[in-house]
Amino acid sequence: MKEKKETENKTMKPKEHLAIFFRGVKMLFSLSRVYIVCTIFKALLGSVIPYVPIYFSAKLLDEILGSVRTEQMVLYVGLTVGLAFLLNLLLTWLTVTKEAMEEELYRERDWMFSEKGMGMEYSCTENRDVAFLLARIQEESNSGYNLFFLYHSLGLGIGHITSIVFSASMMVSFFMLDAVSIYAKLGMVSGIVLTILLGIFATAQESKIHVAFYHKNVNMNVLSGKYRSLLANYATGVDIRLYGMEKKIEKGREKTEEEYYRNCMERDKKCVRFSVLCVVLQHLLKFGVYMVLIEAALCGAVSVGSIAKYVACIMLLLGAVSGLVSAVQRLCSNNYYLRRFFAYLDIPNRMYQGSLTVEKRLDNEYYVEFRDVSFCYPNTENYALRHVNVKFKVGGKLAVVGMNGSGKTTFIKLLCRLYDPTEGEILLNGVNIRKYDYDEYMSVFSVVFQDFQLFSFTLGQNVAAAKEYDEARVAECLSRVGFDGRLSAMPAGTQTYLYKDYSREGVEISGGEAQKIALARALYKDAPFLVLDEPTAALDPVAEYEVYRKFSELSGERTAIYISHRLASCRFCDSIVVFDKGRIVQYGSHEKLVADTGGKYYELWNAQAQYYVGKAEKT
């Protein structure tokens, strides 16, 4: 973590700034090419439009005070209004198109992060540092930085460059005037340069203040976002209401926000000093320009229209140069946010993908072996598993039991290759599972974890885990797990939406019903391995008994790995693995293990039996 912070705070060289900038621009083009094209042309057009009335108004003013030719005045008015109208009409069309495409940009950007999340190795999804990095990037995006700042600044930068070119070209004639002394010209140039340099200095200082401010408030922004999400998430609404947590959450949010706003005031007080200096110098320069031009006009060297034109161009030039410098400096500051943005997208998937095809055996003789496997979760020092050795035949029924935290779920995660062992190896038919094609190997498992997820899609799509599905097969799987009664009561059968996120007619389901749907999903996949992690925890006793009774029928010829705290369920399994403190301490049948009065299984079995006997006696 320390190395990561040092990398984040490391000063970038010009080459690195350019590399990140061009990578960002390339990404913008890949997300929405039309949006970027509209942004460029809108910036060009928006910068050109102000110069149309400046140029022709100066001509018109000179004509009014000079020859007073009606046809010329009408021409200048027509050109001023007509060109401005046509350009603004085109600008409006570009703006509308750009805004429509901006939605595409937002959505594609969000989907890019979703795809990255799915393509990441599973260990990263459980890594606190990765989760914090993503939360920080999202907060920075909401504050207008990283990719969002880049695409807004792209148009501003192009507009400023266009303004500089037009302002400079329209001011060339001023410096060709013989009536204006060389000292006046040098004084004006010096004032412009001084104003620009002060702007550069002020912007640099303000950027430092803003960067320091956001670094200081990273944790505060993330925490504030967490408070908001707690209140917005309907799933937490029940607990918040029942336990009266509204005031605690509100006080926590208020304390966070108060500190944040105090820091905002401190930041703005520091920044305003530099802004005042820039404003004062700009107005002094404007006053000096007027004096020089008025003197030239009194000598007859400059027309009244030209005075208006030159003053307007100088002020536009100052604004454009100041804006461009500011944009470049802030883009450089934003590159640090972009570096963090890309750091998330660049997180590598270190899971070896393999290439071997999972063997299809006619005799169904498959063996899985854990050979001296030890495992330690990332960023932790304590081993979750130590020297695990076990071998079992595919097609059998294996129970995995043990106290909470003994390593049962970790054992399953390693088997399914959500993680790779820290030490040792796992073999399928004598071949290290890392050598098998990763996606194909994953496809041989149907797993129902304790924290399984159902989605706000239709019931059929949840069971099939796909958009298109076999409706009869879905109904059959639901019937096998005892969900057929509830299915018949659903308004649209398997087409009924779960929850109300996508449909007002969506149905809310209980925890037990959700567990049955998850079991049906595992059956629908029809994979060779069926892994059930506490599959009856949310079921009522009758439903639980039905699952136990039908256990062999549900699993069929598949390998069934059954994790449970309720040891009565183990009697349906061929073999039992007993975990204790990350190690396998016993392995065998129920009869064998319960006969070992000094073993861990006997201790667990009698503890549960004693509980039920005691409860029955009290009754």
Per residue in 323-359, pLDDT (tens digit) is 887 788 778 888 888 998 999 999 888 777 777 887 6
**Residue 417 and residue 375 in contact, taking contact as beta carbons nearer than 8 Å:** no
> First CA to last CA across the chain, in angstroms?
56
Higher per-residue pLDDT: 22 or 529: 22
> Among 584, 64, 207, 157, which Cα is nearest to 373's?
584
Residue 615 has pLDDT above 50, yes or no: no
What's the predicted TM-score (pTM) here?
0.67
Supply the pLDDT for residue 179.
72
For residue 63, which amino acid is it? Answer: E
Residue 3 pLDDT more than 50? no
Which one-letter amino acid corresponds to residue 224? S
Q: What does the alpha-carbon distance between residue 218 and residue 206 come to, in Å, rounded to a whole number?
A: 18
Which residues, at least 6 apart from 214, have a Cβ–Cβ distance to it below 8 Å?
140, 143, 145
Percent of the chain's residues with pLDDT above 70: 89
Which residues is 448 bridged to in the sheet? 532
Residue 387 pLDDT: 92
> CB-based burial of residue 152 (10 Å sphere; 0-12 exposed, 13-18 middle, 19+ buried)?
middle
377, 405 Cβ separation under 8 angstroms: no
Q: What percent of the chain has pLDDT over 90?
A: 9
614 pLDDT tier (thresholds 50, 70, 90): very low
CB atoms within 10 A of CB 236: 14
Q: Going by C-beta distance under 8 Å and a sequence separation of 6 or more, which residues neighbour residue 491?
A: 505, 507
Q: Which of 189-193, 375-379, 611-615 has the lowest mean pLDDT?
A: 611-615
**The pLDDT of residue 612 is above 70:** no
Only one residue has tokens 């039920």, namely 612
Q: What is the pLDDT of residue 619?
A: 39
